[in-house]
Chains A and B, each alone.
Chain A
């Protein structure tokens, strides 16, 4: 199957599945962290690297510092999960989870990783479950970086055709928010397309 065959219909199905997965994530966060958040309607697009860069630049202002957690996930639907929080949000999260007035760098990093864990696990596990496949999570890493460092040159070489799934997550009462990006590429798009086709067959069988 050609990548170009990932159609608008496929995108619509993926968007629906994302809505379900995000609902799951919101519920899990409320349960595990006692924080009640909202997630915005996800944006889905098929793009190339330039498109991804332009989208990132539009979404994440380049002149600010962010805590960026990147986690790879594997399986029939594999790719990269990125969670981007402003410095201020990350400090608030550290303060909230570790119950200290001035959280240390380690507290903040760990809190960001913890929230990313929950988000990636819930969203991707649910997506995989809906697509009747399994997902493997790899060790995430968090770094403090500016917006323009989000995509490096080496990544330009790796990603030629990308599906961007993005949403904004907010805990307004705790002044915590973050952008979620789920990126998948080339071969993975092909297998994702197949999984969605199977899902559609299953639904209309």
Chain B
């Protein structure tokens, strides 16, 4: 027959936590099965003895004070469970992680029989929870460290890279400090403005169109663009613009990264420019000529033409007015030629007083017409001290199988003929 006390013991031993009864002197009065199993100390061995004999490392001054508080207030007291254990040490058998080798315990001291100064100490294993907390703390530390690195990187990017983020309609959302300071705006002035407002649109029409088409295809665009600062300064930029797509493959925003290449462009320009007239030099002209020849779509009625032009009696100008005046004549002639050629024509100084013009999309008639227009423009220009000068023009158009040499040879022949026939005229020589 099981009596009430036996039932109490069964309950006591069935608890899934460690439970002991101690008095205010730390003498053990009960020790449940959980404690027996996990501490390897049997109840027979410990009951009636002092806990200090088994666990001398515990701070008994604090423990006894807690017992006294529990009894005095008739209310539970607790040990802090957030740091290392301050009560008994219970080994932990977890093998797959090594964060905790002993159990992290939640210790509660509850009043048991206050009249005989006994309390119940219950020990809850909160190791898994504590392990999670430690892991979380570790991760938080790592995140904090990564965030700090990211912040540093962002600061470096912000200060040194010109980056703009826009919405899908190219309205500016964010800019880096480097961008706003380069352009001379503050961030508030730029936010809400359209990115296109920084581009020089009149000379960049083709590039901007290409950019628009590429981006509309949801592709990255890169190229060189001319932009204008708040002060009105025109600057060359190397630009990379990337669209960002959402899960539905729709564009949500664009990020544009710019790099100032003005100096590079200046050097590039110097290498292809004739220093006196500022027109393209012979090298650049040859390159463009090559590209023109490589286009295979030229046919009769839609070919390209070549004009070779020579200032008449230039030697006489030099001899009469000096080389400085001669240079002024070349500059003036260059200017009038540059103003008169069509958009898309390529004008260059060939050497000395000779100039060349490539005319895309012309037939022989149109090429002759352009040459005549140039002749009249030169003839109609009065140059200080020198007066009016004239020029002779040799014209040819591309025919199948032509090379640079063959076309130059023909235009040279035509020019020779124009000179022969009295100068200040145009002559054409076709295949």
Binding site for B on A (CB under 8 A): 28, 31-33, 97-99, 105-106, 109-110, 112-114, 117-118, 121-122, 125, 137, 139-143
Known A97-B65, A106-B80; 15 more pairs at CB < 8 Å: A28-B72, A32-B72, A97-B62, A98-B59, A106-B83, A110-B62, A110-B79, A110-B80, A114-B69, A117-B77, A121-B73, A121-B77, A125-B74, A139-B108, A142-B82
B68 at the interface (CB under 8 A from A): yes
What separation, in Å, do the CA atoms of A70 and B72 have in the docked complex?
22
A-B contact pairs, 11 of them (CB 8 A): A28-B72, A32-B65, A99-B61, A114-B62, A114-B66, A114-B77, A117-B69, A117-B78, A125-B75, A137-B76, A140-B78
Q: Which of B59, B61, B83 has the most CB of A within 10 A?
A: B83
Please report the number of residue pairs spanning A and B whose Cβ atoms sit closer than 8 angstroms.
66
In the A-B complex, the 9 residue pairs with the smallest Cβ-Cβ separation, listed nearest first, are A121-B75, A109-B80, A106-B83, A121-B73, A117-B77, A113-B80, A110-B80, A32-B69, A109-B83
Interface size on B, residues (CB 8 A): 23
Q: Give the secondary structure class of A's interface.
A: helix
Contacts of B77 in A (CB 8 A): 114, 117-118, 121
CB distance from B79 to the nearest CB of A (A): 6
Which residues of the other chain, A, contact B66 by a CB distance below 8 angstroms?
114, 117
Determine whether the beta carbon of A143 is less than 8 Å from that of B82. Answer: yes
Are B80 and A118 neighbours in the complex by a CB distance under 8 Å?
A: no
Q: Does B267 sit at the interface, judged by CB under 8 A?
A: no
Contact A28:B73 (CB < 8 A) given known A106-B80, A117-B78, A139-B106 = yes
User: With A32-B65, A139-B106, A139-B108 in contact, is A118–B73 under 8 Å at CB?
Assistant: yes
- Nearest CB of A to B186, in Å: 30
Say yes or no: is B81 at the interface (Cβ < 8 Å to chain A). Answer: yes
The yes or no answer to B324 lying at the interface (CB within 8 A) is no
Q: Which residues of A contact B83 (CB under 8 A)?
A: 105-106, 109
The answer to whether B80 touches A32, judged by C-beta atoms less than 8 angstroms apart, is no
Contacts of A31 in B (CB 8 A): 72
Give the one of B59, B75, B86 with max A CB within 10 A.
B75
Q: Are B62 and A98 in contact (CB under 8 A)?
A: yes
